[in-house]
Amino acid sequence: MTPYEQLFRLDGRSALVVGAGSGIGAAVAEGLAAFGASVICADARLDTAVATADAIGSAASAVGLDLTDAAAVEAASRDLAPPHVLVTTPSINVRKHIVDYTDDELDQVVDLNIKGTFRLCRAFGRVMADAGRGSMIGFSSIRSQTTEPGQGAYAATKAAVIMLFKTLAAELGPFGVRANTVAPGVVETPLTEQIKSQPAWYAAYADKTIMRRWAQPAEMVGAVVYLASDASSYVTGTTIFVDGGWTAADGRFEPPT
């Protein structure tokens, strides 16, 4: 009989969480450890990664890792043992209309959100395929599906992340590696501080969701644990939207019925 009660457990597995210094990444690192994984907390800011690892305890360690540094990413894939689970969360946004974007701003967004993610998946995809197992989990966004003025570069990169992970699934599946993405809605993190500081903007985003509120970082953990565990052993190349219903309903106007 299948031990269903063990499907979500991660005992004996290692997880590398990039972006673990704050927000969703920190919550994911804590959540994976709670389900039994040994977690390597990685972040461009080593001090924040150390803080997350210290909060977790003996099941966690910390490393500095900047996804915009190609050499550092390749070195990490050589220096660290192949993880059973790889999670990558870092991204940035420059909110400007496309016609006002500078090349430097475009490079900044693309270099982290796409090139950084690509570098990480390229390097660790090799070692995970060589090990013959693993789950790779990337973070996209509702902006992969719906957009608004000022989201051009960010939305394009988040759509690209989904296709990157679909391709990873196709290429690495024969080697025992699964690849999926999680697409959050509006989450209270440092990335959304600009919105949170403006009450009307904050409220408008809350009202756009079916649940009429923002998410907390911890609410992203369930989807990641599922994708990391044997509970999703036949799931690859897909995206889980954790968005409070943002992409399910229009939400701009409630007509009379």
Q: Which residues are catalytic?
A: 154
Q: What is the CATH number of the domain that holds 231?
A: 3.40.50.720
Averaged pLDDT for residues 1-27: 95
Residue 26 within a domain: yes
pLDDT value for 114: 98
Q: Which of 11-20, 41-50, 139-148, 199-208 has the lowest mean pLDDT?
A: 199-208
Residue 227 within a domain: yes
**Helical residues (DSSP H) of the chain, grouped into ranges:** 23-34, 46-56, 70-79, 103-110, 117-131, 152-172, 193-196, 199-208, 221-228
Averaged pLDDT for residues 42-57: 98
* Digit-coded pLDDT (tens) for 82-109: 999 999 999 999 999 999 999 999 999 9
Residue 150 reports pLDDT greater than 90: yes
Residue 248 within a domain: no
Residue 255 within a domain: no
Residue 3 within a domain: no
Q: Over pLDDT 70: what percentage of the chain?
A: 99
pLDDT value for 141: 98
pLDDT value for 117: 98
What is the full DSSP assignment across 154-177?
HHHHHHHHHHHHHHHHHHHGGGTE
Domain boundaries, position 217: 8-242
Global pTM?
0.96
Q: How many other CB atoms sit within 10 Å of the CB of residue 36?
A: 15
Confidence of residue 194 (pLDDT cuts 50, 70, 90): confident
Residue 18 within a domain: yes
Residue 28 within a domain: yes
Residue 254 within a domain: no
Averaged pLDDT for residues 140-153: 96
Count of domains in the chain? 1
